[in-house]
Amino acid sequence: MTRIASIAASVVVIFGALALAGVFQRDDATPQARAQQTQQAPGQPTSVADIYRQVEPSVVFVQANSGRGQLPFPGGGRAASGSGFVVDDQGHIVTNDHVVEGADQFRVRFGEDGQPVDAKLLGKDPSSDLAVLEVDPSKVQGGVQPLELGSSSDLSPGDPAIAIGSPFGLEGTVTSGIVSALGRTIQAPNGFSISNAVQTDAAINPGNSGGPLLDGEGRVIGVNSQIASESGGNSGVGFAVPVDEIKQVVPSLIKGEDIKRAYLGISSSLAPDGGATVQDVVSGGPAERAGVRAGDRVVEAGDQPVREPDDLSGVVNGHRAGDKIDLVVERGGERRTLTVTLGDQPERPATP
């Protein structure tokens, strides 16, 4: 049976995690414009080896510990490891929520020969599987070097994809492949869904979690987070949290802000004729208050066609709590439009 697994390595227990990095600047240039800039920019990386040399100093090995013992974990307790990357010159490092979950001590290492540096957890968001650590840049030999963030909207299947991290604790490992697909939906650590994940065939394994997935110019396009595998190892199907999600979430985590997300309050499955069949409706939730019933087939949400449940999740995830969206549902052979006021997402999916 194929299973989706997070990919953080653990000393005692496998958690599942990866890491990423970038500079928080909006990139509105068109692909054509960036291509012209690339042609004009001397020293632009042109190979995987060039990209690796450019970004490797910005990718870190993350150690997370909880319970007894001190880092790096000689005295027992529960420990996990993953990857991460620097996103600004102030020492902020992005990794996966599932890498740091349950831990209270953190260290990161820059390069295989670097000394471990104590890190502080600034914030985490289980709904996007993202977390932010902070180190003192003065403690890092040579200082910190942030990665540049790309854009999810500019990606196409077949584009180059490069993953850097610490699979099985092997720091500084680089693998390459392509963007296999876009718009995938994966499950977040808290049971909700992450929309628009990037699928890649670049080899990703336990310990890669939190590390960056890069494009052909060395820009971050995602945070490596999960694999679909029958064996627990790479089988050519890996998933990364999209970089646009990083741009939305990480600045708030750095500020210590809670991430507010929209909530519909249903579970659904693929309808035989397309669309999302409502399986359960959370009592008192936004959908129930709008008149949604179990058995309804949702065919449109927020003026977007719903061909499968992932489409519905994507529409909800693209809105804020308090927004109103119209759901077009089929019930008893008739279509009707129901207006839902989206609520605040709870910590975990409610039991209908």
Q: Which residues are catalytic?
A: 98, 129, 209
Question: Beta partners for 222?
Answer: 242
237: three-class secondary structure by DSSP: coil
User: What 3-state DSSP class applies to 79?
Assistant: strand
Q: How far is CA 296 from CA 15, 38, 290, 302, 315, in A?
A: 37, 50, 13, 16, 17
Q: Report which of 235, 243, 188, 219 is spatially closest to residue 6, judged by C-alpha positions.
A: 188
Residues 6+ apart with CB under 8 A from 269: 276, 277, 279, 309
94: part of which helix (H) or strand (E)? Answer: strand 92-95
Q: Give me the phi and psi of 248, to 5 degrees please.
A: -80, -40
Residue 153 is classified by DSSP as G
Distances (CA, A) of 82 to 9, 79, 241, 254, 321: 6, 10, 15, 20, 32
Q: Which helix (H) or strand (E) holds 35?
A: helix 31-40
Q: What span, in angstroms and rounded, lies between the C-alpha atoms of 244 and 267?
A: 26
- Contact partners, residue 194, CB within 8 Å, separation at least 6: 127, 128, 129, 185, 186, 187, 188, 225, 241, 245, 317
Positive or negative: CA dihedral 228, 102, 125, 155: negative
Q: What is the dihedral of CA 66, 253, 19, 183, to 10 degrees?
A: 130
Torsion of CA 284, 286, 288, 294, to 10 degrees: -120
Q: Is residue 176 within 8 Å of residue 329, measured between CB atoms?
A: no
